[in-house]
Amino acid sequence: MKRIGLLGGMSWESSVEYERMINRGVREALGGTASADLVIRSYNFAEIESLQAAGEWDHAGRLLASDAHQLQQAGAEMILLCTNTMHVVAPAIEQAISVPFVHLADATAEAVRAAGITDVALLGTGYTMEQDFYRARLESFGLTVLVPDEPDRTIVHDVIYDELVQGVVSDDSRLAYQSIIDRLVERGAGGVIAGCTEIELLVGPDDVGVPYFATTQLHAQAAVALALS
């Protein structure tokens, strides 16, 4: 089994889901008391959030790239970045390591294509929905990516930062997300990507009427498959 390096804590509410899913995947594959071989760097999310808000992406990239290299030195044979938004600095991380970087958007796009869907909705932080680092990666797989119009984008973003990363899961916010998804489906979306790991704490497959792509689960599955290959 290959050792998996996790860059997490962005937020820990979702990062613990990565650990749970990866460990469960290994146990299901190998049986008995088997669990994953993990090495983890978990951050104080308040520090990461302040870099996001200030637009200090280069600073954040240097930080995560340095820590990814340290995970490799600690024996990691692949690196996962346990957050959608911070994949904006994925190129810096990839340059700093010589082991595979399991890109979250790639695992997601492959699942969308496998489902036979070409037009897909993307929910995430404002950074993920509005910048092209994530959307362009999905589009490189031949997908058409739809994001909410305003004020829906602001609602999606604010629920993530004001509630979900702080462990608050609200029925009112779930209903708001469902309405936003419905509007995206009306625009032609054949499925919806939960493009922020925390969204999976609020909305699940049973809450939407189209195929639902939970990026945390897909990323974890990709990591387990590579670790056991």
Identify the CA nearest to 11 among candidates 36, 47, 39.
47
* Residue 227 to residue 229: CA distance in whole angstroms: 6
Query: Is 33 a residue of the active site?
Result: no
Catalytic hit among 82, 83, 197, 216: 83
Phi, psi of 178 (to 5 degrees): -60, -40
Give the amino acid at 59. H
Distances (CA, A) of 94 to 18, 68, 77, 169: 20, 9, 13, 34
* Residue 225 to residue 4: CA distance in whole angstroms: 11
Catalytic hit among 85, 108, 128, 196: 196
Query: Is 82 a residue of the active site?
Result: no
Give the active site residues. Answer: 83, 196
